[in-house]
Homo-oligomer: A and B are copies of this chain.
């Protein structure tokens, strides 16, 4: 469902007006236009401004805009854009268009973009930029400041300066601009550095792990180094924020039982939306079929005591709910590294009493509900109504405890098996708990109701 443009033709003054607003507001406006119209508008802007707008990851239509621009202009804009963003945009274009654009770039830009293109999506390498400031360790503070003044406009950040060994080009340390401007201009550059080794990452590190470094160390940029310690690029804090949000979105979507969308809801076509949801839904449906098998197994009990069926949805949903609660808590604790794999037994020791207590609370409510309905005369659960109520209460304790344990252990098990613990979705947990829940319910019933109803 392509949104139709609200601006059929560009008012002549619009192109003059855009630079007077923040680039992020320009992006919001351009997102409402057809790519052809947006491209026309960008052509009328000063090239630096057009590149600045295309640099924003929030401009969803950037690949389409680049596609419809004349090749020469598209190549010029890609050159002016931040290398990391140019790579993101190229990644979203078809191979022939991508190759055509790369061929038009000057050799230096092409080389630096091709170097970034090889890193898989969602790695530090794929979100890093090569536009950073580095100086040899032989430089002094004053001469570094002078250099920064010259290159400032072409660098994504100048607040962290990377000091390299002049021979090996390995990273020795990082210096912040705030320390630099306060330092003695004649002091060696390394005198303004912190006394410990710089925080670094590697190009194949997952962006989630990189974001964790920003959070832990309150950084504005992290250098990405190769295996002998040379700086390949840097990840800046705005990219880290985008990564954190993208990961959170993925986590919520996965927890809801959807394959991560990777695009805003309205930008996804009908077919791929179906694909993102049908896979999990079918897998869950197939597993949930075991409930039908479990019910078939207990068919004779069901026929004898049809009153038991009345509480099946109630009891099963309580197991699913307590499981989904536990899973949501543990997914986040593992994602934020508050807990590690080896902590699973400490979690079991907490979830076991928690589950029993929660189950007991629900059990008491259930017991009261059945007693009340029976006494007031709202429904007749038969002569053995109290045993039925006891069955429901005991089953609730068992099922809520089982739900809490399953829900809390599933993220650990997934992580142990090498999967993302966030793949433990609420529907996944509910499905796991449902089948066992039925077995618990009917087993409890067999014990309590033997000789009366069963």
Binding site for B on A (CB under 8 A): 1, 19-22, 24, 56, 58, 145, 148-149, 152-153, 157-159, 177-179, 181-182, 194-196, 199, 214-218, 220, 237-238, 240-242, 244-245, 248-249, 251-253, 255-258, 261, 264-266, 270, 273-274, 277-278, 280-282, 284-286, 288-289, 291-292, 295-296, 299, 302-303, 306, 309-314, 316-318, 320-322, 324-333, 336, 338-339, 343, 346-347, 349-350, 353-354, 357-358, 361-362, 365-366, 369, 379, 400, 425-427, 430-431, 434, 438
Contact = CB atoms under 8 A, between A and B. Distances in A.
A435 to B, nearest CB: 8
A403 to B, nearest CB: 10
A358 B196 contact: no
A252 B249 contact: no
Nearest to A58: B216
A411 to B, nearest CB: 11
B310 A350 contact: no
A391 to B, nearest CB: 13
B277 A291 contact: no
A321 B434 contact: no
A336 B181 contact: no
Contacts of A265: 329-330, 333, 338-339, 347, 350
Contacts of A292: 310-311, 313-314, 369
25 contacts: A149-B182, A158-B178, A248-B252, A256-B426, A257-B325, A258-B325, A264-B333, A264-B338, A265-B333, A265-B338, A265-B339, A265-B350, A266-B350, A278-B361, A281-B321, A282-B361, A285-B321, A292-B310, A292-B369, A295-B313, A306-B306, A313-B313, A313-B434, A316-B316, A321-B430
A215 B196 contact: no
A248 to B, nearest CB: 4
A199 B157 CA distance: 20
B349 A1 contact: yes
B329 A261 contact: yes
A448 B415 CA distance: 46
A408 to B, nearest CB: 9
Contacts of A277: 322, 325, 354, 358
A242 B237 CA distance: 13
A309 to B, nearest CB: 5
Contacts of A316: 313, 316-317
A347 B268 CA distance: 12
Contacts of A249: 332, 336
A393 to B, nearest CB: 12
A344 to B, nearest CB: 12
